[in-house]
Amino acid sequence: MSEIDLHSLLKDLPHGLRQGLGEIYEFDRIDSTNDEALRRLRDGKLGHCLIVAREQSAGRGRRGHQWQSPGGAGLYFSLVRELPLPLDRILALGPVVALAFRAGLSDLEVFGLSVKWPNDLLSGNRKLGGILVETHGADEQRHVVVGVGLNLRFPPEVMKHIDKPAVDLATICEDDPDWPHLLPAILNRLLEYIGIFRDEGFAFFQDEWNKFDRYFQQDVVVQVGDEKTIGRVSGVDETGALLVRNATGIQRMVSGTIFPSRHGAGPKP
């Protein structure tokens, strides 16, 4: 197929899943599904919902980076959930969503994917999908907006303008991906994992993250602003913070961007 039929994917969502998602809003073109979700929340339209777009004109990634979102070439959506948790706990939601993303694709027999802290989905060293988690409201009224971008079938002329190594699902699948079941598989896992996170916290997912972390036991550079921490990834702790071991001990990182060391990331042990 040359283009993903978003309307058909939404129309065929199972009834039980639709009920769990709340209201569903479909756009042919929008600036950003996350921006639309936040606008709705600021206007007092609270509660669970799903906002999906065929194309984004101003898709956003972490730290203000642009997310390429050409029409019909990717899956772009924002899931809005009520999540009345303290903000310091919400910080660990990004890694949980990345794991749910990976699990949903694994359910469709898309294997060999890994995660990169805090919330990227990788195939090898190439980025397949990204996540942007934003919040609205105070503790008891807090809502989270989980923005997801998944590269499905990107035109080559778009892919070459992405400034970091990227890949799409059509490229990594030997057979044609199971497009009709793609959105339900991912959404089911997202609802499941977010529910567990709400009740159990990140500690429930700690071992799963370390199992699928692309850079576990690899030498990396973690950059936070102008500061760089060099060391070997020792996994994440029970709060989702990254642990990096170097000559001065174990450094606990709650934000930052990971880069492989100049030696690169070899095969996982």
Identify the domain containing residue 255 by its residue range: 216-260
On average, the pLDDT of the chain sits at: 89
Q: Which of 185, 210, 235 is the last residue of a domain?
A: 210
- Max CA-CA distance within the chain? 55
Do the domain assignments include residue 109? yes
Q: Which DSSP helix (H) or strand (E) runs through 248?
A: none
pLDDT tens-digit series, residues 76-113: 999 999 999 999 999 999 999 999 999 999 999 999 99
pLDDT, residue 62, reads: 53
pLDDT score, position 198: 97
Q: What average pLDDT does the segment 179-208 reach?
A: 96
Closest CA to 114 of 214, 249, 30: 214
Question: The CATH number of the domain where 245 resides is what?
Answer: 2.30.30.100
Q: Please tell me the distance from the alpha carbon of residue 149 to that of residue 77, in angstroms, as a whole number.
A: 7
Residues 231 and 160 in one domain: no
pLDDT digits (tens, 9 = 90+) for 31-75: 999 999 999 999 999 999 999 998 888 666 555 555 556 656 788
Q: Is residue 75 part of a domain?
A: yes
Residue 223 has pLDDT above 70, yes or no: yes
Across 121-135, 153-167, 168-182, the highest mean pLDDT is recorded for 121-135
pTM across the whole model: 0.90
- In total, how many domains does the chain have? 2
Q: Is residue 179 part of a domain?
A: yes
pLDDT of residue 262: 72
Rounded mean pLDDT of 252-259? 94
Same domain, 201 and 154: yes
The answer to whether residues 226 and 199 belong to one domain is: no
